[in-house]
Amino acid sequence: MSYFPEVQDPVPCEGPDSRNPLAFKYYNASQLVAGKSMADHLRFAVAYWHTFKGPGTDIFGSATFERPWNTGATPLEIAEKTLDAAFEFVHKLGLQYYCFHDRDIAPEGETFAESCDNLDHIIALAAEKQAATGIKLLWGTANLFSNPRYAHGAATSPDAHVFAYAAGQVQHAIAATHRLGGENYVFWGGREGYETLLNTDLKAEQDHLARFLHLAVDYAKSIGFTGQFLIEPKPCEPMKHQYDSDAAACLNFLRSYDLMDQFKLNIECNHATLAGHTFQHDLSVASAAGRLGSVDANRGDMLLGWDTDQFPTDIYDAVYAMLVILRQGGLGSGGLNFDAKPRRGSFDTVDLFHAHIGAMDTFAHGLLIAQALIDERPLDDEIDERYSSWNDELGQSILAGNESFDSLEAWIREHGEATPRSGRQELLENIVNTYIR
Ligand code: XUL
Ligand code: CO
């Protein structure tokens, strides 16, 4: 049986002039860009929780998404049907990867043991489907935020009993990810933060979070899981303040607790903008530290102050993101995961295809534009020129450690004022626009 009979398998690429809503305009998996296929550059993934389990609720309204795979006699039967729908969907779109939380791919049971059994049951079926289709797991993660036991945090809960529960849950989620050959494992802070400092020992909570992550590293080693561990920054929501608030805060946390070598960052566009940064900023901060591992590709809404998780359609965002990714030589084992959901009013299943096709095309288009900018160097030439004084005698001497405040004071007395130079921002913005076609 097919859940998406109206969609061709695979969705074809018809080129930029096509007006077919169920065809790609730019994404052509095998097309080479700088010697590497689009598929290998972009490594797209579907987010199980939004695409297959998202109900279309909001804080004022109940579910609007009636998915045929989300009905059945038992929670496990529903999970099995969802898995069928997921693999059909991923295959039709030509996505290589999917990502899940333990509690969206399999239902939580009455007891911890039952939850583990449910996960094991579904993971065994997912392994069969992966083998049959070649679809792979980009990353797994654990939901440490929905259940009431985590109301005050998981690893940062004031209660060690809750910490232990979270540890047991993550142990199982890492094992499941490992069994499926997952290439990464994500830690998004969930409820790791606080509502009020009146009842919070901030230092202790951060120490506990670090201990939890060290335990995860130890466990991964003990079972031979070599996937990349990723931290996903987010400044707020659900908590008023989350410890992993942005890329810079995460890097500082990892450095302080001797976790820098074991973790990279999974940067999400809407989380960066909630933190008051551009997507490009947080990608660049992570990349500059050599710690940009993966991306949750979505977008927020300028007029809404919360995590709207919309599908990425902004070509500038995609170009600027791909510039960072291409300049660091790709995402390694990471990818572009569409952590995004259709709007509540877009309740038809075909809307899921429109959303993913548009997002994949946006990043494919962004890839082509970013690669042209890199090949023809209009931005790099300007940047090289702007910093060229660091290649001159004075700059080289400063960098070599041969100067002091005294010697530089003397140098200025001799050479006088610096010559101002325009930053050419408008020119560069115009140049980017000439490449967007
Ligand atoms: C929440 C979010 C999560 C993580 C995985 O805002 O982005 O879905 O990506 O837990
Ligand atoms: Co995310």
Minimal CA–CA distance to 230: which of 255, 259, 264?
Answer: 264
Are 51 and 96 in a shared domain?
yes
Amino acid letter at 180? L
Are 341 and 430 in a shared domain?
no
Are 296 and 358 in a shared domain?
yes
Q: How many CB atoms lie within 10 A of CB 24?
A: 24
178 is catalytic: no
Are 132 and 192 in a shared domain?
yes
Are 323 and 244 in a shared domain?
yes
Are 151 and 168 in a shared domain?
yes
Domain boundary among 341, 359, 376: 376
- Judge contact between 338 and 363, C-beta under 8 A: no
pLDDT of residue 337: 99
In sequence order, what are the residues at sequence separation of 6 or more whose Cβ sits closer than 8 angstroms to the Cβ of residue 365?
A: 25, 26, 315, 318
- Which residue has the CA at smallest separation from atom 3 of ligand 1? 188
Q: Which atom of ligand 1 is nearest to the CA of 337?
A: 9
Domain boundary among 376, 404, 420: 376
Ligand 1 probe mutation, 48, 147, 188, 192, most atoms within 8 A of CB: 188
CB of 186 closer than 6 angstroms to any ligand 1 atom:
yes
Residue 19 lies in a domain: no
Are 302 and 405 in a shared domain?
no
Residue 5 lies in a domain: no
pLDDT of residue 437: 86
Residue 4 lies in a domain: no
- Find the CATH number of the domain harbouring 268: 3.20.20.150
| Domain count along the chain | 2
- Which residue has the CA at smallest separation from atom 7 of ligand 1? 339
User: What is the Å distance from ligand 2's center to 269 Cα?
Assistant: 9
Scan for tokens 């946390």, then name that residue: 253
Residue 3 lies in a domain: no
Cis link prior to 238 (omega < 30° from 0)? Answer: yes
- Which residue has the CA at smallest separation from atom 8 of ligand 1? 339
- Which residue has the CA at smallest separation from atom 2 of ligand 1? 188
Domain boundary among 332, 356, 376: 376
Residue 2 lies in a domain: no
Residue 137 lies in a domain: yes
- Lookup: tokens for 354: 């429109």
Are 353 and 414 in a shared domain?
no
- Which residue has the CA at smallest separation from atom 4 of ligand 1? 188
Residue 181 lies in a domain: yes
Are 332 and 288 in a shared domain?
yes
Residue 83 C-beta-side C-alpha neighbours within 13 Å: 22
Amino acid letter at 37? S
Are 372 and 384 in a shared domain?
no
Q: Which of 41, 102, 104, 246 is catalytic?
A: 104
Amino acid letter at 179? R
pLDDT of residue 68: 97
Q: In angstroms, rounded to a whole number, what is the distance separating the alpha carbons of residues 323 and 371?
A: 7
Residue 402 lies in a domain: yes
- Judge contact between 321 and 279, C-beta under 8 A: yes
Are 358 and 426 in a shared domain?
no
Are 127 and 140 in a shared domain?
yes
101 is catalytic: yes
CB of 317 closer than 6 angstroms to any ligand 1 atom:
no
CB of 232 closer than 6 angstroms to any ligand 1 atom:
yes
Q: Which atom of ligand 1 is nearest to the CA of 234?
A: 6
Q: Which ligand is nearest to the CA of 141?
A: 1
CB of 268 closer than 6 angstroms to any ligand 1 atom:
yes
Radius of gyration of the chain (CA): 24
Q: Which residue segment(s) compose the domain that 297 sits in?
A: 32-376
Per-residue pLDDT 10s for the chain (437 aa) are: 899 999 999 999 999 999 999 999 999 999 999 999 999 999 999 999 999 999 999 999 999 999 999 999 999 999 999 999 999 999 999 999 999 999 999 999 999 999 999 999 999 999 999 999 999 999 999 999 999 999 999 999 999 999 999 999 999 999 999 999 999 999 999 999 999 999 999 999 999 999 999 999 999 999 999 999 999 999 999 999 999 999 999 999 999 999 999 999 999 999 999 999 999 999 999 999 999 999 999 999 999 999 999 999 999 999 999 999 999 999 999 999 999 999 999 999 999 999 999 999 999 999 999 999 999 999 999 999 999 999 999 999 999 999 999 999 999 999 999 999 999 999 999 999 999 98
> Can you say whether the dihedral through the CA atoms of 167, 261, 207, 243 is positive or negative?
negative
Instruction: Please provide the distance, in angstroms rounded to a whole number, between the alpha carbons at the two ends of the chain.
Output: 40
